[in-house]
Amino acid sequence: MLCWNYLVKLIEDFEDKHYQLNVSTPCSRLKHLMEARSLEQADLVEILGSSEIVTKIINGELQITEEQAEALGKFFHSDANLFIY
């Protein structure tokens, strides 16, 4: 029985390390929505303020502000909280 428990623990540890399910960030959610709608970064410039801001958000260098989240929520017809940590 001890061997079986050890094997189960090894499998769980491996899965936790390599297969994190439902791990998403505001940035990854935004990227998914963009991909689903075949949008380019340029399509979000008016919503987020500038191409530099869009690039930094997409690259994970800048977090989405509450104001930007509201604008993205309206644009994508979704809850603004989707874009906030």
How much is the average pLDDT of 8-26? 80
How much is the average pLDDT of 28-51? 96
Is there a contact between 53 and 47 (Cβ–Cβ < 8 Å)? no
Domains of the chain by range and CATH? 23-83 (1.10.260.40)
- Per-residue pLDDT at 1: 55
Confidence of residue 22 (pLDDT cuts 50, 70, 90): low
The runs of H, that is alpha helices, within 1-85 are 2-18, 26-36, 45-48, 51-58, 66-76
- Per-residue pLDDT at 10: 84
